[in-house]
Amino acid sequence: MSAAAVSFQAVQKDYGSLQALKGVSFDVRPGCFFGLLGPNGAGKSTLINSMAGLVKPSAGRILVNGYDVEKEYRQARRFLGVVPQELISDPFFTIRELLDIQSGYFGLKSREQRFWVDELLDRLALSDKANAITNELSGGMKRRVLIAMALVHKPQVLVLDEPTAGVDVDLRRTLWEFTKELHQKGHTIILTTHYLEEAEALCEEVAIVKGGELKALETTGELLSRHNYRYLRVVLESSKKVDEQQFTPFLQERFLEQDANGLMFKLEKEKPLNQMLSALSESHLAVKDLTSRDATLEEVFLDLTGEK
């Protein structure tokens, strides 16, 4: 059996002449908070749907806790919970009934299971809506129902596919507090998100895919540290727009943008900061403040994928 919580082994998926996945291979270690990132159309959803049994790969294998998701699908499903992007809308069953039905899929009908369903309703702030049908719920409430359904059988691996897309700040905070608690209890979390600041704050390891291929697989810290630049924001005494022509060639090569908060430059890490200060002085810019920071995960992501 595999030591990995999830193992993708040369996974390939063809739709006619289109290769959605081109032999993707990587492992997610047990107990890891793992980020699966990539632009739209990169293959993230195809990977997740293949893991969940909704898509059959053209080649390769996927193991969940050592169980093949095709050949040993019953065992694999018991270890896996998936929160999809698509919102649920069921006009026939209440939230509690949906959770009871979901429990029944896994043969869970004990008193302890009813207590767990009650706890999920409470933790996700759904208790007062337990007897409502999903058609009566807001988008944020429907998202909470999906999370509860994914967790009803206490899976060791939880996949969150764009869980905070279009939700308010309160729900986002509730979700991350609950997710971090699950992670601390030993659950493996796989997150896909376009909010890269979330991935940077939460994920220990990150895989970046583009065009159906794996572009990077590193710890978040390693990925950030290998970026070649740091970023400098220069606040001027005047908010008047600056003509780039007055910059020295050194500044022109490193200038990124000017916005309401000042000028943004990127500087190679090996270059000393005093070179930037000298160039600003030579350009006769009245500098009020200057701040320096390392690259964010978003900037590393854009650099690796070539996205704009």
* Overall average pLDDT of the 242-250 stretch: 89
CATH architecture of 6-224: 3-Layer(aba) Sandwich (3.40)
Q: What is the pLDDT of residues 128-184, one digit of tens each?
A: 989 998 888 888 888 889 999 999 999 999 999 988 777 778 878 888 888 899 999
Whole-number Å distance between alpha carbons of 132 and 109: 21
Per-residue pLDDT band at 195 (split at 50, 70, 90): confident
Q: What is the pLDDT of residues 280-306, one digit of tens each?
A: 999 888 899 999 988 888 888 888 877
Specify the amino acid at residue 277: L
* Res 2 pLDDT > 80: no
Of the candidate ranges 35-49, 85-99, 207-221, 282-296, the one whose mean pLDDT is the lowest? 85-99
127 φ/ψ angles, rounded to the nearest 5 degrees: -60, -40
- For the domain with range 228-305, which CATH number is right: 3.30.70, 1.10.3470, 2.20.25, 2.60.40? 3.30.70
**Domain segments of the chain: what residues?**
6-224, 228-305
* Overall average pLDDT of the 6-10 stretch: 96
Cα torsion through 131, 134, 140, 141, rounded to 10: 10
* Placement of tokens 């719920």 in the chain: 137
Q: What secondary structure does DSSP assign to 232-287, as a single string?
A: EEEEES--SPPPGGGS-HHHHHHEEEEETTEEEEEEETTS-HHHHHHHHHHTT--E
pTM: 0.83
Q: What is the pLDDT of residues 198-218, one digit of tens each?
A: 899 999 999 999 999 999 999
pLDDT at residue number 144: 87
Average per-residue pLDDT for the chain? 89
pLDDT at residue number 1: 46
Per-residue pLDDT band at 307 (split at 50, 70, 90): low
Whole-number Å distance between alpha carbons of 191 and 215: 17
* Res 104 pLDDT > 70: yes
pLDDT at residue number 308: 57
Per mean pLDDT, which of 16-25, 81-90, 221-230 is the most reliable?
16-25
Whole-number Å distance between alpha carbons of 42 and 21: 8
Which residue would you say has higher pLDDT here, 308 or 39? Answer: 39
* Res 94 pLDDT > 70: yes
pLDDT at residue number 23: 94
* Res 24 pLDDT > 70: yes
Percent of residues, the chain, with pLDDT higher than 90: 56
Whole-number Å distance between alpha carbons of 226 and 246: 32
pLDDT at residue number 206: 94
Q: Is 119 helix (H, G, I), strand (E, B) or coil?
A: helix
Percent of residues, the chain, with pLDDT higher than 70: 99
